[in-house]
Chains A and B, each alone.
Chain A
Amino acid sequence: MTTRTMLFKIYRYDPDKDNAPYMQDISIEVDSVTDRKLLDVLVKLKAKDDTLSYRRSCREGICGSDAMNINGKNGLACLTEVKDLKEPVVLRPLPGLPVIRDLIVDMTQFFKQYHSIKPYLINDTPPPERERLQSPDDREELNGLYECILCACCSTSCPSFWWNPDKFVGPAGLLNAYRFIADTRDEATNARLDDLEDPYRLFRCHSIMNCVDVCPKGLNPTKAIGKIKEMMVRRAV
C-alpha cells in the first residue's frame, strides 16, 4: 500500500456566501489501493471539507450523477482513474449549464431538450399478448444508443449546445432521438424526423465530435446524428 499527496484545484461557489466563484487548492493523501477512482478521492475530500458539494449515486458509471469537468475534459468521476490524472487535478462543473453550487449544475435545460424528442416508444396499435418483437438484426441497431445514461458530458462539451441550449437538442438528445427513430417497434418515425428537421434543433450540429471524445460510455452521438440526416435525405430524394 502506497500513499501520496495529490494537489486538487476545485471550483467553489456557494451563492449564499460567495460573491463570485473561485478555485480552491486542496491537498489530500491518496491511497493507491483504496482510492482508485476520482470519486473515491472526492469522498475523502468531502470528509476533509464537508462544504464541498457534488452529485453522486451509484459510483459505477450507471447513474451519470458525478459528471464534471476533469482537467479540462468532461467525464464521470467514478470512472476516472486517479493514477492517470495530471496534477494539479482541476475540477470544474460541467460547462455551459448554470451552477447551483460547487460542482453541481442545473440540468433543467438539458432534460428539457431530452424530453422534447419524446423519449418513449410511440405505437398506437393494440399491444400483442406478450411483447412487441424485433428481429435480432433490428435489435442490433439499438446497440450503442440505448446505453446512454444522460450524464450530460456530451451536450455540455458541445459549442453548439453552449450557444443555443434552448434551441439545439444537443448530442445526448439527438442520440436518444435516433434510438427511437431506429426502433422498428416505433410508428412515429415521420413525425420524429419532421420535428428534427430544423436549422436549430438538428442542424446546429457541425460534426466536430466533442461528444464522441468525452462520452464515458464510449457512445457515438455524431454517428447517430449522421444517421438521422441520412434518413432525412433518403426520405427527401
Chain B
Amino acid sequence: MVNRIVVGAHYGLKDWIIQRATAIIMAIYTVIFLAVVGAVSPNSFEAWRGIFAGGFMKFITFLFFVSLFYHAWIGVRDIWMDYAKPDGLRLVLMIATAAVLVGYAGWAVQILWRM
C-alpha cells in the first residue's frame, strides 16, 4: 500500500448535529435539575434518592447521561483526530474512548435504576 494521504470518509454531518442536539438536551436538563434540587433542598441521602425515584427523573437523567457520553465521544474523537497522528494509534485511542464511554453508560443505568 502506498502511503498516500486519503481523505473523504463522507460522514460528519450526523455527528455535528448530534453534538448540538446533545448540548441542548444537557442545558435543559441542567435547568430542570437545578430547579428540582432548589425545590426539594435535599439534606440527606434518602432525600437525594427520592429525587431520582420517579420514572420521569430517571428518564431525563438517563437521557442526560447518554447525551453527555455521545457529546464526549465526538469531542474526544476530535481531539484524537487533531493530535494523534499515526493512524493505528488513533484507531486504538478511538476504540478505547468508545469502550470507556459505553461502560460509563452501563454504569449510569445501573446506578439510576438501583435507586
A167 CB contacts on chain B under 8 angstroms? 5, 7
Q: Of the listed stretches B12-20, B23-31, B41-49, B65-73, name the one at the interface; the rest are far from the partner chain.
A: B12-20
Q: For chain B, residues 74 to 108, give those with C-beta under 8 angstroms from any C-beta of chain A.
A: 78, 81-83
Contact A233 B15 (CB under 8 A): no
**A35: shortest Cβ distance to chain B, in Å?**
41
Q: How large is the interface on B (under 10, 10 to 19, 20 to 34, 35 or more residues)?
A: 10 to 19
Chain A interface helix/strand/loop/mixed: loop
* B114 at the binding interface (Cβ < 8 Å): no
CB-based nearest A residue for B75? A206
- Identify the interface centre among B10, B11, B15: most chain A CB within 10 Å of its CB: B10
* A229 at the binding interface (Cβ < 8 Å): yes
Q: Give Cα A175–Cα B89 distance, bound, in whole angstroms.
A: 32
* Total count of chain A residues near the partner, CB < 8 A: 21
Contact A164 B12 (CB under 8 A): no
A166 CB contacts on chain B under 8 angstroms? 5, 7
CB-based nearest A residue for B13? A232
Q: Give Cα A233–Cα B17 distance, bound, in whole angstroms.
A: 8
Given the interface contacts A160-B82, A204-B81, A204-B82, does A199 sit within 8 Å of B15 by beta carbon? yes
Q: Give Cα A138–Cα B88 distance, bound, in whole angstroms.
A: 46
Which A residues contact B (CB, under 8 angstroms)? 159-160, 163-164, 166-167, 194-195, 197-204, 206, 229, 232-233, 236
